[in-house]
């Protein structure tokens, strides 16, 4: 494919979790570039406010939202059905939404929240939208992971941290699983025109981060806060992966600061990729039309 074939203007971009933080800045940047931005919101009030913020700031009226609770498989399924009714194309899917709960919580489906929202939600959403992504090719899937995936380990004996819960272990595991999914899907889709990449946005000054900073001692908190980047800076790699014509054939990679970086060595383990994929299929099978589509 020639680089000139990719132009973000007029492209349909679906972004999860874009009512605040990195997601909102990603939506703002893509709207400024002339993309058609569709984002998810858990409720109408936040969705409408965010839409108007983006429209007013960018002067791009092609901004809309769809209601979705990413902690509910049923809600994700309803989102995809609604999207397909309203839009004939999906050019860019950005799985941006993420959680880092302070205590062990469960999703609407009774699944540990990190595992449900950070991994199973993007897995299910991407699988359900895959036929449309293929039909719209060239198209792109972008998964927002974290450098903390390097500390992750897939504990198949306790995937949901039911025996013991450590918020950082649960979060790291979910972000590692997301990159394993990214790399397997990218390999499976080679030649389809759909690329799949993951990224680390940086350590960003978001409410999710600050909840953890506030639990630090004052000195550690002071120095840690000095290292944080803004949500706008945190969105730059997502925007780059969505918009750059240089990446039309780049797939299965992990990006940091808009450059290809090495993910943890375990993400190259094809057996581990297959194993976590099968786990995700088992969790979501009642909401997927055709397994392996």
pLDDT in tens, 28-73: 999 999 999 999 999 999 999 999 999 999 999 999 999 999 999 9
**Rounded to an integer, what distance in angstroms lies between the CA atom of residue 71 and that of residue 124?**
11
Please provide residue 98's backbone torsions phi and psi, each rounded to the nearest 5 degrees: -155, 160
For 188-199, the pLDDT digits (tens) are: 999 999 999 999
| Whether 171 is catalytic | yes
> Residue 212 pLDDT > 90, yes or no?
no
Provide DSSP, the chain.
--GGG---TT-EEEESS-SSHHHHHHHHHHHHTT-EEEEEESSHHHHHHHHHHHHHHH----EEEEE--TT-HHHHHHHHHHHHHH-S---EEEE------SS--B-TTS-BHIIIIIIIHHHHHHHHHHHHHHHT-SEEEEEE--GGGGG----TTSTT--S---HHHHHHHHHHHHHHHHHHHHHHTTTTTEEEEEEE--SB--HHHHHHHTTS-HHHHHHHHTT-B-HHHHHHHHHHHHH-GGGTT--S-EEETTEEEPPPGGGG-HHHHHHHHHHHHHHHGGG-SSTT-
pLDDT computed for residue 223 by the predictor: 41
Instruction: Over range 243-269, report the average pLDDT.
Output: 97
> Residue 115 pLDDT > 90, yes or no?
yes
Catalytic residue among 65, 87, 168, 171: 171
**Rounded to an integer, what distance in angstroms lies between the CA atom of residue 133 and that of residue 28?**
22
pLDDT computed for residue 5 by the predictor: 78
Domains belonging to the chain, first-starting first, are: 3-203+234-287 (3.40.50.720)
For 69-96, the pLDDT digits (tens) are: 999 999 999 999 999 999 999 999 999 9
Q: What is the pTM of this model?
A: 0.91
């Amino acid at each position: 494919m020639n680089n000139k074939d990719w132009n973000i203007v007029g492209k349909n971009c679906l972004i999860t979790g874009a009512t605040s933080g990195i997601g909102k800045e990603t939506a703002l940047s893509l709207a400024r570039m002339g993309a058609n931005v569709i984002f998810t919101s858990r409720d109408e009030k936040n969705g409408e406010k965010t839409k108007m913020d983006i429209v007013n700031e960018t002067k791009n009226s092609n901004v809309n939202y769809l209601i979705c609770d990413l902690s509910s498989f049923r809600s994700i399924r309803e989102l995809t059905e609604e999207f397909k009714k309203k839009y004939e194309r999906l050019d860019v899917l950005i799985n941006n939404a993420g959680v880092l709960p302070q205590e062990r919580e469960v999703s609407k489906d009774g699944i540990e929240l990190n595992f449900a929202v950070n991994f199973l939600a993007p897995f299910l959403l991407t699988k359900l939208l895959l036929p449309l992504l293929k039909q719209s090719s060239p198209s792109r899937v972008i998964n927002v992971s974290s450098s903390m995936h390097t500390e992750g380990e897939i504990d198949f004996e306790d995937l949901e941290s039911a025996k013991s819960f450590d918020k950082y272990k649960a979060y790291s595991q979910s972000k590692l699983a997301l990159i394993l999914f990214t790399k397997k899907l990218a390999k499976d889709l080679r030649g389809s025109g759909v690329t799949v990449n993951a990224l680390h946005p940086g350590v960003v000054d978001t409410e999710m981060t600050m909840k953890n900073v506030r639990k630090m001692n004052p000195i550690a908190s002071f120095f840690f806060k000095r290292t944080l980047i803004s949500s706008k800076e945190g969105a730059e790699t997502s925007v780059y992966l969505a918009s750059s014509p240089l990446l039309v054939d780049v797939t299965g990679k992990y990006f940091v600061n808009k450059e290809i970086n090495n993910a943890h060595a375990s993400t190259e383990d094809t057996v581990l990729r297959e194993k976590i994929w099968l786990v995700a299929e088992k969790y979501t099978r009642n909401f997927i039309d055709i397994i392996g589509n």
